[in-house]
Amino acid sequence: MSNPFLVNHGPFLISNILSNLKLNYDKSKKDYEIYDIKDLLSATNKDISFFHSKKYSNLAKNTKASFCITTHNLKENLPKSCEPIIVENVLVSTSKITEIFYPDSIHDNFDITSRNINETKFKDKVKYGKNVLIGENVSIGSNCLIGHNSIIEKNVSIGNNCSIGSNNIIRNTLIKDNTRILDNCVIGKHGFGFFPIKNNNLRFPHIGIVLIEENCEIGCGSTIDRGSMSNTVIGKNSYLDNQIHIAHNVRIGKNSIIAGQVGIAGSTIIGENVKIGGQAGISGHLNIGNNVEIGGGSGVINDIPDNRKVMGYPAKSIREFLREKK
Amino acid sequence: MSNPFLVNHGPFLISNILSNLKLNYDKSKKDYEIYDIKDLLSATNKDISFFHSKKYSNLAKNTKASFCITTHNLKENLPKSCEPIIVENVLVSTSKITEIFYPDSIHDNFDITSRNINETKFKDKVKYGKNVLIGENVSIGSNCLIGHNSIIEKNVSIGNNCSIGSNNIIRNTLIKDNTRILDNCVIGKHGFGFFPIKNNNLRFPHIGIVLIEENCEIGCGSTIDRGSMSNTVIGKNSYLDNQIHIAHNVRIGKNSIIAGQVGIAGSTIIGENVKIGGQAGISGHLNIGNNVEIGGGSGVINDIPDNRKVMGYPAKSIREFLREKK
Amino acid sequence: MSNPFLVNHGPFLISNILSNLKLNYDKSKKDYEIYDIKDLLSATNKDISFFHSKKYSNLAKNTKASFCITTHNLKENLPKSCEPIIVENVLVSTSKITEIFYPDSIHDNFDITSRNINETKFKDKVKYGKNVLIGENVSIGSNCLIGHNSIIEKNVSIGNNCSIGSNNIIRNTLIKDNTRILDNCVIGKHGFGFFPIKNNNLRFPHIGIVLIEENCEIGCGSTIDRGSMSNTVIGKNSYLDNQIHIAHNVRIGKNSIIAGQVGIAGSTIIGENVKIGGQAGISGHLNIGNNVEIGGGSGVINDIPDNRKVMGYPAKSIREFLREKK
């Protein structure tokens, strides 16, 4: 599992897990113990997995999971060692099972365990402002600063020489050395993931974290959501300007530069040395290569190979954009 | 009046009201008592109304108001029972009269009446964080959470089972059951409404509220302004992602989904089951139908009928957008 | 120097300054005392200046600086009275020298000097909320309000009759009379300026301030960065809506109106009476004339002369935009 913080409430019997999905399971394996829910690649024979799209057929063929949530059409791809569990909506069922193992991954109520830093072991170790709160399961390296009114909620690890500004809220986040978070940021909240259901949407669990690597800077008023099944990652020495929104599962490579008010939608992968101009928006589930430059205000709706310079909405070669617009 | 919280300082004599507009009123009705200022439809014979555009002629013909602020060109549409008050700029005069009845509707200074929740009746009823403040005229239902540093300023009603995160500022707002406000939001402030006047703009009163219905979620860092003469409404089970701005008088239907960094300008009406992609912007005073899908990054500058999928700037049929951009 | 607050740690011997750039300087003038680093125009013979682009050749010819950081190609433009110091990257060297004079201009750690307003001389002078903090070197005029949790960090001057809302963070800022800052703003932080260097970017000093003139309004959740070598300025009676980002060195003329979620990139100059629609973005280093109107959602990438109405991305005449898009 990608989140070193969340408590796994398993194992559970497979029959109990499935009764939760309103599935009656009375086969020989009904007392089989399941320890975790994992993707097709990382699941072991003690885990249950999920398989919802043809594009993962190769992973499905080789999965070591003992059970797999899937559909009638897809089940033929699974190996004999893996028993298919047929459901109507794979992701909804996956979501419900994940909630059984990780009940804390659905809701992000405020962290009621947070105490004033004066009352914690960090009192003499950290330089801090007024009204700083610290939750459970927090570690902070040497030579760190935490500004006024900042709330380091539960499940946060901060490296050495980090400067956290004022009015920040951080949870489920791992921050490496020499990183600076400016002010008014919210980092590590669950992403905008749910299944639309009339009158009462179903929230998707978020069992990932936010990982911010060494030497990064995160500007004021930014929001970085934690991952759903994987992590959200900001690579080494990447700088983000103010009012940026990074959605769940986004991965940004090292040495990237992102100007103000940029938004990156869920699960998009950004390469290294990428420059993104102000207010640009990038759709979800895209691959943006290394050394790419994206002009300010662009709307990127397709993958971009390495070394390209693009601009426009939808974004195209910057030369073409400027020629057409003359 | 649409705001159940604001105190109406009336009634006032019509002659006193008009002397405030530098109008000398010495007719027989000069001692007539006016109880409120209302739109053409809801005004009674104890109220004054306003009529500034031909498109409201039908409403004008049937108004029950005893007096109506209007112009020379429009006054013929009013019934005999309604005495026209001729002014140069109807909206400026309306604004000035509204200020007489509701002097608290112009400025949004911080709420000096707010006290620590420890000192209020909510102490044992609500689960709350550190440094939570509560203003006057606040009600909170059962089983609610209010996070650290959140300020529930005056004139707020929160239903049952609501989760309010940390660092929020809320005023003049009615929140129904099971709704979740994440962190760093500002909800219920006056909208961006004023008459541009050289060296000293004239602010418009905001006597509306924000109404957030059941089962909604409002993402981190969002701002929702209260209405000017009507209310700002977020419909049942609508979910808003992070860093969204909803301007005054906007109405969003139920079951809508709005992705990060979207902005909706003043007085626009959004239907039910509408999906809006990240960073899209919608101009003011538009009608967006039910089941509409608006692509990320779009700029909507015209009404959209039911069931359309649009994208682009200006937004057009998504098929056309993708074909043209090939 | 444009910042009345920052402490200049000079003078320094020219040889010491240059040894910091790894330059050995052993000429007759090696014991010359340098008092400040200034631009070509404002430097006196006690200062060092910098010259990095041909477009400043005229200023270079007339500079009074005794020394100037520049390149081989440019040095011929300097007068005899000014000794060229040849470097590889003028701006990197300028940045390093600026840091010598103003070591506090690089990092914006939280202001550890801030104390609760209860403990300051403002206790009886200002109406304030809970948990208000005040840093060193702050002045506040008469009849001001400061809302809950706001942090007036060091180096701030606030005029008379100002209303500062809640949850704001302000530093290195001069606010004139009758101005209103709503909630959740961060004003006066260093801009997004640095030299990209693999694995460890080099931050640019920011020795400017933010200057907000009389009768302005700054909406909720906005960020205004202070200038690098000059100031960031919001002109008299200009109104900014919510969630706006103003980058370093931007200057906005008086009586301008800027709608929600607009972003203005670094060093752009905006004229007087300018109206900018919601979500518009303006590139850096541009000149926008007086009385210009920019439609919502526009992306401005070129200068705009006075009195034009533009829209689109890239922004063009609004008539042309609407005709083409039919």
By residue count, chain A amounts to 326
Q: Which two tokens stand for residue A253?
A: 């490579």
Instruction: Compare C316 and A105 and report the one with higher pLDDT.
Output: C316
Rg (C-alpha) for chain C, rounded Å, is: 22
Q: For chain B, positions 151-180, list CB contacts with chain A under 8 A.
A: 163-167, 180
The whole-angstrom separation of Cα B177 and Cα A7 is 30
Under 8 Å between Cβ of A87 and A93: yes
Hey, is B21 helix, strand or coil?
coil
Report the candidate in C74, C95, C71 with the shortest Cα–Cα distance to residue C85. C71
SS3 of residue A239 by DSSP: strand
Pairing of strands A169-170, A186-187: parallel
Q: Tokens 């969002």: give the residue.
A: B222
Q: What is the set of active-site residues of C?
A: 248
Whether the CB-CB separation of C135 and C41 falls below 8 Å is answered with no
Backbone φ, ψ for residue A170 (5° rounding): -130, 135
Per-residue pLDDT, A19: 92
E-assigned strand segments in C100-203 = 115-116, 127-128, 133-134, 138-140, 145-146, 151-152, 156-158, 163-164, 169-170, 173-175, 180-181, 186-189, 194-195, 202-203
Report pTM.
Answer: 0.94
DSSP C287-300: EE-TT-EE-TT-EE
C318's tokens: 């609004």
Cβ neighbours of residue C37 closer than 8 Å, sequence gap 6 or more: C47, C48, C49, C50, C94, C97, C98, C101
B48 beta partners: B37, B67
DSSP annotation of B178: T
Q: Is B323 helix (H, G, I), strand (E, B) or coil?
A: helix
Asked if the Cβ–Cβ distance from B166 to A151 is below 8 Å, we say yes
Q: Given B145, B254, B257, which is nearest A110 (Cβ)?
A: B145
| Burial class for C129, CB neighbours closer than 10 Å (0-12, 13-18, 19+) | buried
Mutate to test the interface with C, among A261, A290, A291, A298 (most CBs of C within 10 A): A261
CA B210 – CA B231 distance, rounded (Å): 6
Q: Over the range C157-177, which residues count as b (16 or more CB within 10 Å of their CB) and which as e?
A: bbbebbbbbbbbbbbbbbbbb
Active-site annotation holder among A190, A206, A245, A248:
A248
pLDDT for residue A280: 98
Tokens 């005056």, located at residue: B154
Tokens for B296, please give them.
């990320």
| Nearest Cα to Cα of residue C123 among C101, C146, C104 | C146
Taking CB atoms and an 8 Å limit, are C237 and B199 in contact across chains? yes
Average pLDDT for residues C84-97, to the nearest whole number? 93
In angstroms, rounded to a whole number, what is the distance separating the alpha carbons of residues B54 and B77? 9
Listed by number, the residues of chain C in 95-134 with a beta carbon closer than 8 Å to a beta carbon of chain B are: 127, 129-131
**Which tens digits make up the pLDDT trace of A62-76?**
999 999 999 999 999
C242 — contact with chain A (CB < 8 Å)? no
Sheet holding C47-50, edge to edge: C36-37, C47-50, C67-70, C83-86
From first to last of its 326 residues, chain A has per-residue pLDDT tens of 467 888 899 999 999 999 988 888 878 888 999 999 998 999 999 999 999 999 899 999 999 999 999 999 999 999 999 999 999 999 899 999 999 999 888 888 999 999 999 999 999 999 999 999 999 999 999 999 999 999 999 999 999 999 999 999 999 999 999 999 999 999 999 999 888 888 889 888 999 999 999 999 999 999 999 998 889 999 999 999 999 999 999 999 999 999 999 999 999 999 999 999 999 999 999 999 999 999 999 999 999 999 999 999 999 999 999 888 76
Q: Among A149, A152, A180, which would you mutate to test the C interface (most chain C Cβ atoms within 10 Å of its Cβ)?
A: A149
How many of the other CB atoms lie within 10 Å of CB of A308?
16
Structure-token pair, residue A220: 């004021």
E strand or H helix at C311: strand C309-312
A144 → chain C, closest CA residue = C109
Evaluate if residue C1 carries a pLDDT over 60: no
Q: Do C199 and A183 touch (CB under 8 A)?
A: no
Sign of the C-alpha dihedral, residues C94, C97, C99, C102? Answer: negative
Whether B182 and A108 lie within 8 Å, measured CB to CB: yes
In order of their start, the domains of chain C are: 12-105 (3.40.1390.10), 115-324 (2.160.10.10)
Contact present, C141 and C127 (Cβ < 8 Å)? no
- Selecting from B220, B259, B325 the residue whose C-beta is nearest the C-beta of A186 gives B220
Bridge partners (DSSP) of residue B309 are B293
pLDDT in tens, C153-201: 999 999 999 999 999 999 999 999 999 999 999 999 999 988 888 888 9
Closest residue by Cα to residue C175 from C125, C100, C233 = C233
Condensed to tens digits (0 to 9), the pLDDT of residues A64-123 reads: 999 999 999 999 999 999 999 999 999 899 999 999 999 888 888 999 999 999 999 999
From the list C147, C165, C260, which residue is nearest B247 (CB)? Answer: C260
Whether residue A278 lies within 8 A of chain C, CB to CB, comes out as yes
Q: Is B174 helix (H, G, I), strand (E, B) or coil?
A: strand
Q: What is the pLDDT of residues C120-157, one digit of tens each?
A: 999 999 999 999 999 999 999 999 999 999 999 999 99
Residues B2, B8, B10, B16, CA torsion sign: negative
User: Looking at chain C, which residue has its C-alpha nearest residue B192?
Assistant: C241
What is the reported pLDDT for A1?
A: 46
CA dist C106 and A163 (Å) reads 13
With beta carbons under 8 A apart, name residues in chain A contacting C324: none
Q: Which two tokens stand for residue C221?
A: 């959740």
Minimum Cα–Cα distance from A315: chain B residue: B325
Tokens of A6: 């969340």
Is residue A79 a contact partner of residue A61, using CB atoms and an 8 Å limit? Answer: yes
**Are A152 and A136 in contact, with CB atoms under 8 Å apart?**
no
Decide if C325 touches A, using CB distance below 8 A. no
Tens of pLDDT along chain B (326 residues)? 467 888 899 999 999 999 988 888 878 888 999 999 998 999 999 999 999 999 899 999 999 999 999 999 999 999 999 999 999 999 899 999 999 999 888 888 999 999 999 999 999 999 999 999 999 999 999 999 999 999 999 999 999 999 999 999 999 999 999 999 999 999 999 999 888 888 889 888 999 999 999 999 999 999 999 998 889 999 999 999 999 999 999 999 999 999 999 999 999 999 999 999 999 999 999 999 999 999 999 999 999 999 999 999 999 999 999 888 76
Q: CA-to-CA distance for C188 and C166, rounded, in angstroms?
A: 16
Catalytic residue among B72, B148, B248, B285: B248
Q: Do C189 and A127 touch (CB under 8 A)?
A: no
Q: Is A200 on the interface with B (CB under 8 A)?
A: yes
Q: Can you say how many angstroms the Cα of residue C45 is from the centroid of all Cα atoms in its chain?
A: 25
Neighbours of C (≥3 Cβ pairs closer than 8 A)? A, B
d(CA C238, CA C179): 10
The pair of three-digit structure tokens given for residue B295, joined into one six-digit string: 């692509």
The maximal CA–CA distance of chain A, rounded, in angstroms, is 71
Judge whether A195 is closer than 8 Å to chain B, CB to CB: no
Average pLDDT, chain C: 95
CA C280 – CA C286 distance, rounded (Å): 14
* Closest CA–CA distance from residue A297 to any residue of chain C (Å): 6
Beta bridge partners of C128: C146
